Structure 1
């Protein structure tokens, strides 16, 4: 009796596939279902293309807004780097002492450059640019003070850091007044922050729309294949087996939509690039419009695939539960 039991156990063990065979079959089944779901899309080209177009345009808008915001932040950072602090020195400070103060301030770790403009240089510049040259001849003395123009480092060019540096420089014994126009920097930061929030809101709404479109498309596919799904469940098919082709369909929709959106965003950047170049050349700027880099493109594709899978999973989870065989 024990010999018969051992023989049966050995036969069952021999018939059971090994781990590598099961792993290989797992990937084969996935490949078959992925190919089959792609074939389903290919057999209905018009409906598939329309769905991909809707998804692609939904993803293109936030992608375009992101590119615009990225370039706006690049421009704003250049403005902030150009922020300067003007220090008006006391009338009693001589030119030599002013030069020493400029050298000392230039050694601050927060300061990139400190330039001294003597009162004579300031008067000459004012005479040339103001148009009041003849009126200045009636003055008994030069009313302008020595001035030190301080350029903060890149790390300290933000409004908050520049304000802290200004407060520090006001403590110098030669300084009478310190000036920094922070209002326009704060307004610029507020506008950029508002644009960032607006882009985030629009992107969120459009991405939710993409999930809903994929979910509704998968729902229609499930309804169309209701009978075949019920038959598969009655013969013992698991929910994972039934769910898998629809998930791959969502994956294909997301991948195609991501590729379409990248193409449209790239074409849009190329279309605007020459116009932007002509405008910035008039201002003597070196700014150039930047599109999506490689990592950002991969992020767009990954997000698109994730949204496609999410919409498909939600639709399958919701409707397969209501299709349990009697």
Structure 2
């Protein structure tokens, strides 16, 4: 066991010396990999920060019926019961929102409190919120019900809700696929950069490797420092990519805070959780080591 540890410690020290012996080349390669890795990390930060916001929004399709100004609470209750009885196969839930409750909700929002405080009376109508059952042809079904309910005598207007939420979910799904493809592209960049780095190191130390083989060095002994070189390059690049991403989120959050304040809300971009970042560092180190092994195998056959 101690012999095995000594061999790996020796290989790690050799890899560190090789990195240090060519500082400009090593730093250039690490910067290329780290800046490339920072792109999917920032994209993942945006996706991770947007998902809780979407989950808080009502994703079930809803249709809101606004009654005419003269409608009474009893009219709203009777109409809600009528809709439930006429469309039991389409409606999941029906709730009546009294105009007084709607006004209290709006006044609780600081963005609306000042404007509503100067009104002499409540301008809001009674409303009925209808949640529809999910189906394969939901959009067509919701539009048909909205057209039908607009013809009702007590109804002033009908609004289809949650459609924009469904579009947002579709956009997030598209972003997830794009992030996966971006991660694949980043993996190829890491493989290519480490492969070329190890290739140059192997060609530079061609004579040293030949002498080591003549005195009895095994193939694993020759290749092990190059594997550590690739793994160390991947680890250092990943850590620098996380630091670059954290720094990039500072101005992004400042700009996002100004935009969110204009809508009366708050949204902060944050890095993925620590476990995901650690797994990413380990994965990049493994990919870099595999690329180094492939490179040293191809370029030390002499």
CA distance in 1, matches of 2:93, 2:227: 56
CA distance in 2, matches of 1:251, 1:61: 20
Which residue in 2 is equivalent to 1:195? 175
> Which of residues 30, 42, 58 in structure 2 aligns to 1:52?
30
**Structure 1 segment 74-223 matched on structure 2, within 5 A:** 74-80=52-58, 84-86=62-64, 94-95=74-75, 98=78, 101=81, 114-117=95-98, 147-150=127-130, 180-181=160-161, 183-223=163-203
Q: Unaligned 5+ residue runs, structure 2?
A: 86-90, 104-115, 117-124, 146-151
Indicate whether 1:265 and 2:282 are aligned. Answer: no
Q: Residues 99 and 116 of structure 1 are in contact (CA less than 8 Å); yes or no, is this contact kept in structure 2?
A: no
CA distance in 1, matches of 2:253, 2:23: 34
Indicate whether 1:298 and 2:278 are aligned. Answer: yes
Which residue in 1 is equivalent to 2:40? 62
CA distance in 2, matches of 1:236, 1:72: 58
CA offsets per residue over residues 218-244 of structure 1, 9 Å max, x none? 001111111121222233222111110
**What is the Cα deviation at residue 208 of structure 1?**
0.3
TM-score (ref. length: structure 1): 0.66
Distance 1:241 1:71, change over 3 A: same
Q: Residues 230 and 292 of structure 2 are in contact (CA less than 8 Å); yes or no, is this contact kept in structure 1?
A: yes
Q: Residues 246 and 271 of structure 2 are in contact (CA less than 8 Å); yes or no, is this contact kept in structure 1?
A: yes
CA distance in 2, matches of 1:51, 1:293: 27
Q: Unaligned 5+ residue runs, structure 1?
A: 1-22, 123-128, 130-143, 171-175
CA offsets per residue over residues 172-191 of structure 1, 9 Å max, x none? xxxx8997446434432332
Q: Residues 209 and 222 of structure 2 are in contact (CA less than 8 Å); yes or no, is this contact kept in structure 1?
A: yes
Distance 1:82 1:273, change over 3 A: farther
TM-score (ref. length: structure 2): 0.71
Which residue in 1 is equivalent to 2:112? none
**What is the Cα deviation at residue 28 of structure 1?**
1.5
Q: Residues 14 and 225 of structure 2 are in contact (CA less than 8 Å); yes or no, is this contact kept in structure 1?
A: yes
CA distance in 1, matches of 2:76, 2:207: 95
CA distance in 2, matches of 1:252, 1:63: 20
Q: Give the number of the structure with larger relative contact order, counting CA–CA contacts within 8 Å between residues 6 or more apart.
A: 2
**What is the Cα deviation at residue 26 of structure 1?**
0.5
Q: Residues 211 and 307 of structure 1 are in contact (CA less than 8 Å); yes or no, is this contact kept in structure 2?
A: yes
Aligned alpha-carbon RMSD (Å): 3.9
**What is the Cα deviation at residue 87 of structure 1?**
5.8
Matched residue count: 259
